[in-house]
C-alpha cells in the first residue's frame, strides 16, 4: 500500500524524476532480438509515464501496459491518444496479471518489480510463467545487491528488500515502500532450469555523489522453456 500511495503522489505532483525516453537497456534488448518486426504481443509491468512505449511500438508490437497508479495510466492515455489500436493502458497491480485474458510473447519489467518484496516477487515470477507463451521472453532491469544502498541501509524487511532509506545520501532517499535488490545466485534460483532458461544476464553500474555511491542493475532475458 505504501508503494502505491508513493507512486500515486509522484505521478500527481512530481514528474521531474521520470524519464521521457525509453530505457537504454530495453532499447539494446529490442535491437538484439527483434530484427524482423514480426507482430508480437507484449505486456509491460509498471509502465509509469509510458517512457518505454515508443521503443516497443517502433518494433510493431502490440502492447498492453499496466500500472497500479491511476494517475500514471491517465497520463499514458493522454500521451498516446492516437495509438488506441496498438496499445491498451490498464490500471492493474502486477500481482494480478493473471486477470488479463491474453498470453504474451514478451513481458517487460523496467525497474518496476523491485517494488515487490521477496515473497511477492516469487508469486510474480509464477504468474509471469503462466502468462508467457512457450518460448516467450521475460526482460527485467532490476537493482543488484552490490549497490551501496543495499549494503549500507539498515531498515530491511526481508533478506532482499528495504523498508525505507535512512541515509540522506542514498540516490533513492525519499522513496516509500518496498525496494528490492537481487543477487546473481538469487536470479539463477528464481528462474529455475525446469521452467526457464536465462539467455542473458549482465550488470550495468552507475555512481552518485561524485562516485562515492555505487548503484548496480541487472539486465536479464529469460526464456520460458516449459
Ligand X SMILES: C[S@@+](CC[C@H](N)C(=O)[O-])C[C@H]1O[C@@H](n2cnc3c(N)ncnc32)[C@H](O)[C@@H]1O
Q: Does residue 139 touch ligand X according to CB under 6 A?
A: no
Backbone angles phi, psi at 2, to 5 degrees: -60, -45
Restricting to residues 11-40, name those near ligand X by CB under 6 A: 19, 23
Residues 88-127: x/- map of binding to ligand X (CB under 6 A)?
A: -----xxx--------------xxx--x------------
CB of 59 vs ligand X, minimal distance in Å: 16
Q: Could you identify the residue written with the cell 530495453? A: 26
Give the three-state DSSP class for 106.
strand
Q: Does residue 190 touch ligand X according to CB under 6 A?
A: no
Q: Does residue 143 touch ligand X according to CB under 6 A?
A: no
Binding ligand X (rule: CB under 6 A), the pick from 30, 34, 48, 125 is: 48
Nearer to ligand X, 8 or 197 (CB): 8
Q: Could you identify the residue written with the cell 502468462? A: 131
Helix axes 70-79, 2-13, angle to 10 degrees: 40
> Is the C-alpha dihedral spanning 11, 16, 20, 23 positive or negative?
negative
What is the per-residue DSSP string for 154-201?
--BSSSSEES----TTSTTTT--S-EE-B-HHHHHHHS-TTTEEEEEE
Nearer to ligand X, 111 or 191 (CB): 111
Binding ligand X (rule: CB under 6 A), the pick from 59, 68, 80, 89 is: 68
**Contact residues for ligand X (CB under 6 A)?**
3, 7, 19, 23, 46-48, 51-52, 66-69, 72, 93-95, 110-112, 115
Amino acid at each position: 500500500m505504501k508503494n502505491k500511495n508513493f507512486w500515486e503522489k509522484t505521478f500527481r505532483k512530481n514528474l521531474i524524476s521520470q524519464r521521457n525516453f525509453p530505457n537504454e537497456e530495453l532499447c539494446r534488448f529490442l535491437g538484439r532480438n527483434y530484427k524482423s518486426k514480426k507482430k508480437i504481443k507484449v505486456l509491460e509491468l509498471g509502465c509509469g509515464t509510458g517512457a518505454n512505449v515508443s521503443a516497443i511500438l517502433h518494433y510493431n508490437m502490440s502492447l498492453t501496459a499496466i500500472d497500479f497508479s491511476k494517475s500514471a495510466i491517465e497520463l499514458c492515455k493522454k500521451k498516446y491518444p492516437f495509438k488506441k489500436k496498438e496499445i491498451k493502458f490498464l490500471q492493474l497491480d502486477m500481482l494480478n496479471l493473471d486477470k488479463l485474458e491474453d498470453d504474451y510473447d514478451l513481458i517487460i519489467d523496467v525497474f518496476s518489480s523491485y517494488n515487490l518484496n521477496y515473497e511477492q516477487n516469487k508469486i510474480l515470477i509464477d504468474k509471469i510463467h503462466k502468462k508467457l507463451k512457450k518460448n516467450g521472453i521475460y526482460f527485467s532491469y532490476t537493482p543488484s545487491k552490490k549497490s551501496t544502498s543495499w549494503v549500507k541501509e539498515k531498515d530491511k524487511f526481508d533478506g532482499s528488500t528495504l523498508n525505507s532509506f535512512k541515509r540522506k545520501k542514498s540516490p533513492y532517499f525519499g522513496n516509500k515502500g518496498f525496494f528490492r535488490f537481487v543477487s546473481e545466485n538469487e536470479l539463477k534460483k528464481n528462474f529455475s532450469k525446469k521452467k526457464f532458461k536465462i539467455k542473458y544476464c549482465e550488470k550495468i553500474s552507475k555512481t552518485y555523489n561524485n562516485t562515492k555511491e555505487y548503484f548496480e542493475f541487472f539486465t536479464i532475458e529469460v526464456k520460458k522453456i516449459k
